Structures are given as structure tokens and as C-alpha cells.
Chain A
Amino acid sequence: MTPPEYSLRLRDVVVRYGSKPPVIAGVSVDVGVGEIVGLIGASGAGKSTLLRSVQRLVQPESGEIWLDGTELTRLPPRELRGARRRIGMIFQDHALVGRLTVMENVLAGTLGRTGFWKSVRRRFDPADVDEAFGLLDRVGLSGLEDQRCDALSGGQKQRVGIARALIQHPDVLLVDEPTASLDPATSVRIMTLITEVCRERGLAAVINLHNVPLARRFCPRILGLVEGRVVFDGPPSALDDVVLERVYGAEAIEQRHGAGDVDGV
């Protein structure tokens, strides 16, 4: 087999909840190896659903999702677990278990390869524990391994989430609104960290962002999603007012010219 040119390929993906109109109405996207893609769109445009459908947290109604040579939408449960390990996910609300320690939350990322009883008794593979300590150093949480996660700040929690995703040894990162609950300075730091680790490890990433300036700054390629369809696919330089108006509606543009920012549209 020739080395894969693309990490992730979506073909005509449709997702529908019940009998309502589809949330994702036929999305086809190719994400290259090591490519960082920003996904922008108004609330309800389907950004989160699209990421969740790749991990099959929601089941696509039709279409194909390819991870290298594996088609994900019809994988049986055991193979699906194997494929999920290769896709790291970082969540908007960090999705940590608050009552567990930082270390336990990071090592939860190894549950796909750690036996059940070993994990219950917290007898993790020493190599994994060693790697977890290294990752905590990398994301800037050295020394906090025994803190309970509900005692951390928002930015620190998101760093734990990043370490948990990386310890899976993923090929692709799916990042769902990583800065939604963070202040502007922390948002920039978290986005810097995510894009840096992607470059270090050659990871492809799809990052949902509400915040257009952040997307422009950190993502070499941007997708605009409206009502479950991709209406824009290009570099930040091509993301002009006409496109933004299509993605967010006219009010966003007024606000942009008024306040100089479309933060939180």
C-alpha cells in the first residue's frame, strides 16, 4: 500500500436526528496528513455534529468516512474501538472526570489498550505512566499529577484534555470548541499549544472554532459550514466579508466593523 496522502476523507456524509431535516447535509472533505483545518460556522450549523459523526458518537445516516484505508461508518464495535484510538478528541467542556486526579484523567486516554482489571486497580503500563508524565511537562502541568481535576482552572483542564488525547497516539485530532469557556489570553495559549503539538507529531487536526480571528491566526485552511453544508474552503486570506456574511449573517459583519472583532458570534 502506498503511504496515505490523506488522513481523513469524508464523502457525502449525512447526519440526521429523527425525521428532522439533516444536521449534516452531504459533507465531503479531505484532510491531508499533518494539515490543520479550522471549521467555522454559526451555532447550530453542525460543527460539533460533524466531528462527533467521525468518532461515531452520532451515527451518520449515509456517506463514507475514511481514516487512511479504513472506512469507519460501518465498522463493527471491536474494530470501531481500534479506529477510535487513532482519532484523538478534545472537547469544548474538556469532558474530564472531575473527581479523578490529573494523572488518572490523562491515563484514561490509554483505556483502549489497557486491560479492564489493570485500569480498575490503577496498574497502568509503566511506559504509559512515563509518557503521561512527559505529556504533563509538555502541556505545562508539571507537578500537578495528583491534583483533582475539579480543582483546576479552565485552561489547565483543557491542557489535561490535550494530554489525554495525545497519549492515545492518534493520527488525527478532532478539537471541538477548545476555547469556548476560556478568556482571550488563555484561548491564544491553548490554540498555540494545540497547533504546536500537531506540528511536532505530524498530526492532522480539525478544529471547531466560534472565534474567527483565532481561526485565521492558527489554521492555514478554513472550512465554513452553513446548515450542514460546506460553503467555504480556503486559506484565511480568502475569508472576506462576503464569505463571513454567508457563514454568520449580516449582523456579524456590522459587529465586526463596529467592534473590530467577531468574537463569540
Chain B
Amino acid sequence: MAPAMSTVSDARVGWRPPPRIANAWTRRALWIGAAAYAIVAAVTLDVDAARVAEGLTRAGSFFGGWLRPDFVTRWGDIRTGILESLAMAAVATVAGVLIAVPLGLAAARNLAAAPVYAAARGVLAVSRAFHEIIVAIFFVAMFGFGPFAGVVTLVVGSVGFLGKLLAEAVEEIDPAPLDALATAGATWASRVAFGVLPQVMPRVLGLALYRLDINFRESAVIGLVGAGGIGATLTTAFARYEFESVSAILILIISMVFAAEVISGRLRKALL
């Protein structure tokens, strides 16, 4: 080091960013508390060595089956399940967008009057309150087993997801064009159509494509509780210990999700 450095005061040489929690004792107490909780939590999990060993043996037969995927034996069921899941995802996404766009506009603070805003935010919050699995159990109980309950579940999820993110996109738009349209004597509806929608359209499209992807994957999950789709086929295959078919289904799901990723990327590039 250059000798000149020694003349600089220690406070400048040893500079560090100020800690987020100013009090050192509070900081240490938080660390100790977090560590203690982690230990207690691990103990209460009640890990049973015998069961772990048994599980590992069973896992062996899983993986054995997965290395030999069998698309042929249950191809009819798999094909029906995949097509059903695709249809469920597509219908739920379209219906979700159609419902979410007006709701999202109503849930944007810069467009809606206070009572409308509060009501729309409430609807969106309720539709996101429960995980899809719980919603699916509810709708299966209501409408019986099958893809209809699944579609309704996915619509609820899509509306909550798209509506909330769209409302946030609308709240971030450039307000100046809206003023300009107002000064031309445009009505509220015209201002939305000309000033708001063109600004949020790329976002709506991107979110819809992403949600289509999510809906396809979700359709595999909610099928486990009887809401149709490839998930139903998957549960059946598991129940019959046909791990070769399970493997085939999982490979198909993965490749469909990859394909969706590629297609949505291309669409986004072409349309935006």
C-alpha cells in the first residue's frame, strides 16, 4: 500500500454499508432465533429411518420404470388425457382473458371510481385466495368428476392471475394520452379503447401466453383430485403401478411445456 493511505482516517478506509437493522443485539437475537427454530422444526418432522429405507427401495422401482417409458400400452388413455388437458387449458385461458380484461380495468386505481375499484380488487383477491387444488376439490364436489370442474377451476385461477397483473399494468401506463383524449371530448369507453388498451396490449398478450402454459401444467395437477385431463390419466397409471406409462406421461408433459415455451416466444416476437 502507498504510505499516503495511512493519513486517511480509519472511518473512511474501513467503510461498510450501514446494517439494515441498526441495533447489534437485535441483529444477533434474530440470527439465534432463526437457527433455534430451524433445529426445533427439523426435530418435530419425526424422520423415521426405517420408512426412509423402504421408500428408497420403492423409488428404485419408480426409476426403473421411468427409464423404460411405455407410450404404447396405454396410448389411447394418454392421448385422450393430453387432448383433454390442452382443450381445458385453451378454453380456460380464453375465458380467463375475456373476464379478466374488464375486471382488470375496473381494478386499476387510475381508471375506476373508488367503490368500483374496491369491488373489483375484492373479486380478484377472492379468486386468488385458495390454491387451485382446493378450488378443484370444491368444483368436483359441485359438478362431479370430469373436465368441466377442471375448466371452471382454471378459469378462476386465470381470472385472479391475469386480472391482478393487468390492473397493475394499467396503473403504470403513461397518463398523458388519456388527458389528450379527454380534451378531444372522448367518452370514458373511447379513452380506454384508444388510450389504455394499446398501451397494455403487449402485456396482456404476454400474460395470456404465460397463463396458457400454467393452465396446461395445472390441468395435470388438478386431474389428481378428479378434475379431468392428463392428471386423471396420471393418477390411474400410478394406482396401477404402471410406472412405464407414468414415465411416458411425464415426458409428454415436459415436452408440451417446452413446446409452449418455444411457440409463445415466437408469437411474442412476431406480434409485439
A98 to B176, CA, bound (A): 11
Shortest beta-carbon distance from A90 to chain B in Å: 9
Is A85 a contact partner of B180 (Cβ separation < 8 A)? no
Encode contact with A along B180-195: 1 for CB under 8 Å, 0 otherwise. Answer: 1111111101110111
Nearest residue (CB) in A for B202 is: A99
Encode contact with A along B84-123: 1 for CB under 8 Å, 0 otherwise. Answer: 0000000000000000000000000000000000000000
Is A111 a contact partner of B190 (Cβ separation < 8 A)? yes
Determine the chain B residues whose CB is within 8 A of the CB of A94 once the complex forms. Answer: 176
**Which B146-197 residues have C-beta < 8 A from chain A?**
176-177, 179-187, 189-191, 193-195
A261 to B201, CA, bound (A): 45
Determine the chain A residues whose CB is within 8 A of the CB of B182 once the complex forms. Answer: 55, 57, 84
Determine the chain B residues whose CB is within 8 A of the CB of A187 once the complex forms. Answer: none
Judge if A108 is at the interface, Cβ distance under 8 Å: yes
From A57, A99, A100, A110, contact of B183 by CB (8 A): A57
From A88, A91, A99, contact of B179 by CB (8 A): A91
Judge if A82 is at the interface, Cβ distance under 8 Å: yes
With contacts A99-B199, A100-B194 taken as known, whether A111 is within 8 angstroms of B181 at the C-beta atoms is yes
Judge if A127 is at the interface, Cβ distance under 8 Å: no
Is B187 a contact partner of A93 (Cβ separation < 8 A)? no
Judge if A109 is at the interface, Cβ distance under 8 Å: yes
Encode contact with B along A86-98: 1 for CB under 8 Å, 0 otherwise. Answer: 0111010111111
Is B187 a contact partner of A81 (Cβ separation < 8 A)? yes
Nearest residue (CB) in A for B176 is: A95
Which range holds the interface residue count of chain A?
20 to 34
Is B183 a contact partner of A89 (Cβ separation < 8 A)? yes
Shortest beta-carbon distance from A192 to chain B in Å: 22
**Which B198-213 residues have C-beta < 8 A from chain A?**
198-199, 201-202
Determine the chain A residues whose CB is within 8 A of the CB of B190 once the complex forms. Answer: 111, 114, 116, 119
From A81, A87, A97, A98, contact of B194 by CB (8 A): A97
Is A164 a contact partner of B184 (Cβ separation < 8 A)? yes
A82 to B180, CA, bound (A): 15
Determine the chain B residues whose CB is within 8 A of the CB of A84 once the complex forms. Answer: 182-185
Main secondary structure of the interface of B (DSSP, over half): helix
Is A108 a contact partner of B189 (Cβ separation < 8 A)? no
Determine the chain B residues whose CB is within 8 A of the CB of A98 once the complex forms. Answer: 199
Shortest beta-carbon distance from A163 to chain B in Å: 12
Determine the chain B residues whose CB is within 8 A of the CB of A85 once the complex forms. Answer: 184-185
From A93, A100, A112, A164, contact of B176 by CB (8 A): A93
From B179, B198, B201, contact of A57 by CB (8 A): B179
Is B201 a contact partner of A99 (Cβ separation < 8 A)? yes
Judge if A156 is at the interface, Cβ distance under 8 Å: no
Is B201 a contact partner of A97 (Cβ separation < 8 A)? no
Interface hub of B176, B177, B198, B202 (most chain A Cβ within 10 A): B177
Is B193 a contact partner of A100 (Cβ separation < 8 A)? no
Is A89 a contact partner of B180 (Cβ separation < 8 A)? yes
From B183, B189, B199, contact of A97 by CB (8 A): B199
Shortest beta-carbon distance from B21 to chain A in Å: 35
Nearest residue (CB) in B for A161 is: B180
With contacts A100-B198, A111-B190, A116-B190 taken as known, whether A95 is within 8 angstroms of B185 at the C-beta atoms is no
Encode contact with B along A33-55: 1 for CB under 8 Å, 0 otherwise. Answer: 00000000000000000001001
Determine the chain A residues whose CB is within 8 A of the CB of B186 once the complex forms. Answer: 81, 108, 111-112
Nearest residue (CB) in A for B179 is: A57
Judge if A1 is at the interface, Cβ distance under 8 Å: no
Is B177 a contact partner of A119 (Cβ separation < 8 A)? no
Determine the chain A residues whose CB is within 8 A of the CB of B199 once the complex forms. Answer: 97-99
Determine the chain B residues whose CB is within 8 A of the CB of A174 once the complex forms. Answer: 183
Is A108 a contact partner of B198 (Cβ separation < 8 A)? no
Determine the chain B residues whose CB is within 8 A of the CB of A109 once the complex forms. Answer: 184
Is A110 a contact partner of B184 (Cβ separation < 8 A)? yes
Is A108 a contact partner of B176 (Cβ separation < 8 A)? no
Is B193 a contact partner of A116 (Cβ separation < 8 A)? yes
Is A55 a contact partner of B183 (Cβ separation < 8 A)? yes
Interface of B with A (CB < 8 Å)? Answer: 176-177, 179-187, 189-191, 193-195, 198-199, 201-202
Interface of A with B (CB < 8 Å)? Answer: 52, 55, 57, 81-82, 84-85, 87-89, 91, 93-100, 104, 108-114, 116, 119-120, 161, 164, 168, 174
Q: 13 A-B Cβ contacts within 8 A? A: A52-B179, A57-B182, A57-B183, A87-B183, A96-B180, A99-B198, A99-B199, A99-B202, A104-B194, A111-B185, A111-B190, A112-B185, A164-B184
